[in-house]
Amino acid sequence: MSYLFRRALYALPILLGVALLCFSLVHIAPGDPLVSVLPPDASEEMRRQLAALYGFDKPFVEQFFHWLSRALHGDLGTSIATSRAVSTEVWNAVVNSVRLAAVATLIGFSFGCLFGFVAGYLRDSVADRAASFLSVFGVSMPHYWLGMVLVIVFSVMLGWLPATGAGPGGSGDWAWNWEHVQFMVLPAVTMSVIPMGIVARTVRALVAEILSNEFIVGLRARGLSEFAVFRHVVKNVAPTALSVMGLQLGYLLGGSILIETVFSWPGTGFLLNSAIFQRDFPLLQGTILVLAVFFVLLNLLVDALQTLFDPRIQRQ
């Protein structure tokens, strides 16, 4: 428990640093965020009034602490482009991204572990080379290109699955039925390829190393069945595999801009893309901050799960 408490304390300065960094980078970026809402013939007086409305007329430090204070109370400001609350737009996008990333993570982790264990147990065999090839191929392939290929094959040529959107008729309502899940299949498979390859390579190396250790020979010499030996291998592989998958889930939540744009999936990646092109500073800052908080909390969750599988972590 003290280990997790220390980890939580370490996360606080990280969150503060991320908040400062994201606020600073957005403000350093060239361009005027008010261009998207000001009419072409707007006067300088109108521009000053709008800048005062959004707080852009105040010093940088004052803007940051005012924004951070409101963010701690759940108020991320108002979108410049849509005039809607940033917290509402970000929450809807986060729910969609978490839903998609969770399914992609499940696919990537399951098949990655399967390929990794097969390659680790059958080293230097045809199965090992095939699994290794698929892993390297998955990591090396540009996922946005794979997404477009899957759209061409399964949506355009075969007509089996929808190409874009998150629901029939562009509806934002979600239900776990085939009518809605079919919209998730192609983006989830596309997102799962890279984490599947990374997990497979990691698990393969861990399994090969563990099987060469002397304690495995001792377990077999004691007459343990192969299934019992396999359970010991899994317990030793699990902490590292969970850590790698936790990082991949964090990257999927915030790094899926291209995939969500290709499939028009209304998640955080799609929202970030829109905010960047519209120069919507409040929306951009709010989205980045929420994703950073999710990433840090996800790492804490992974640390907690690791201590369950490997109590030695708590004693270090």
> For the segment 191-230, what is each residue's pLDDT rounded down to a tens digit?
888 888 888 888 888 888 887 777 777 777 777 777 777 7
The predicted structure's pLDDT at residue 315: 47
What's the farthest any 2 CA atoms get from each other in the chain? 86
Residue 237 domain flag: yes
As a whole number, the mean pLDDT across the chain is 77
Q: Report the phi/psi class of residue 74: left, alpha or beta, with left for phi > 0 and alpha for psi in -120 to 50.
A: left
What is the tens place of the pLDDT at every residue in 22-56? 777 666 766 666 665 566 666 667 777 767 776 66
Range of the domain at 139: 89-315
We report the CATH number of the domain holding residue 111 as 1.10.3720.10
My answer on whether 33 and 136 are in the same domain is: no
For residue 78, being part of any structural domain is answered with no
> Taking the CA atoms of the chain, what radius of gyration do you get in angstroms?
24
Shared domain check, 166 and 226: yes
pLDDT confidence bin for 274, thresholds 50/70/90:
confident
Q: Dihedral of CA 198/203/204/210: which sign?
A: positive
- Specify the pTM: 0.73
Count of domains for the chain: 2
pLDDT per position as a tens digit, 245-262: 777 776 776 657 778 888
CA distances 199 to 21, 158, 186, 193, 202, Å, are: 30, 31, 20, 10, 5
Query: Of the candidates 98, 96, 90, 91, which has an alpha carbon nearest to the alpha carbon of residue 249?
Result: 98
User: Which residues 6+ apart lie within 8 Å of 57 measured at CB?
Assistant: 48, 51
Which residues on neighbouring strands pair with residue 78, listed in sequence order?
A: 85
b/e per residue 244-283 (b: at least 16 CB within 10 A)? bbbbbbbbbbbbbbbbbbbbebbbbbbbbebbeebbbbbb
Work out the pLDDT band at 309, boundaries 50, 70, 90: low
Residue among 191, 205, 310, 292 at smallest CA distance from 248: 191
Segment 108-136, tens digit of pLDDT = 888 888 888 888 888 878 887 888 788 88
List, for residues 96-112, the tens digit of each pLDDT value. 888 888 888 888 888 88
Indicate whether 13 and 129 sit together in one domain. Answer: no
81 lies in a domain? no
